[in-house]
Amino acid sequence: MADSRKNIATVDGLFIEAATDGVTHQVRAPRVGSFRPALTAGALLTPGALLGTLETLGATIAVHAPATARGIVRSVAGNRHARFAVGYQDVLYSVDTNVGAFAGVDTGAAAARTAASSDADGLVFRAPTSGRFYLRAAPGKPPFVAVGDVITAGTAICLLEVMKTFHRVTYGGEGLPERAKVVAIVAVEEADINAGDVLLRLAAE
């Protein structure tokens, strides 16, 4: 599969994930080469995430996480800012799959929980992962969203802090309308929330 950048190709179907126990997984090099990591310890690992680039036989390969990858990066081989030599199936990352939202949660079920909910309380937007909720990018900054705002796909909703790493959550997901009005902000600033918790109550526009 070709990438939009010149001289970049994508490894497709060659990435290997080997479980060492029921919790920790090791993601391994799909081939011999010189690898530059794209993730750091504490980062969220999700399906399709860019793991890094691999130079091999004069070509640069973009290595992406397999569909089964989901967890928190615990350790990274080599140096975050430098390439290092790897052999076939050498460990690139160790990933903890039993952290927060990922503990025993099926990937498909978790995705469904972040989509629209037509429960007794109406349309809601739910947290995609567990973490600490921040409605602002920094103290003194305006909130990402406020009651009465009309949001569309890609609108920033909040930051979730997971393992001291901040992740921006944007609006969108299967079953959610393209446009919606914020009726109420349910999550409390700096509160710890779980995957699937209601962040916003919405009304379709």
Q: d(Cα 70, Cα 190) in Å, to the nearest integer?
A: 24
Report whether 102 contacts 71 (CB < 8 A).
yes
Q: Is the pLDDT confidence value at 187 over 60? A: yes
**CATH number assigned to the domain covering 107-204:** 2.40.50.100
Mean pLDDT of 92-109: 55
Mean pLDDT of 73-95: 81
Q: d(Cα 158, Cα 25) in Å, to the nearest integer?
A: 29
Q: What is the pLDDT of residues 104-148, one digit of tens each?
A: 333 333 433 444 444 445 789 888 777 889 999 888 899 999 999
> What's the chain's average pLDDT?
74
Q: Is the pLDDT confidence value at 17 over 90? A: no
Domain covering 8-98, topology: OB fold (Dihydrolipoamide Acetyltransferase, E2P) (2.40.50)
Say what the pLDDT of residue 135 is: 94
Residues spanned by CATH 2.40.50.100 within the chain?
8-98, 107-204
Residue 115 exposure: Cα atoms within 13 Å on the Cβ side: 10
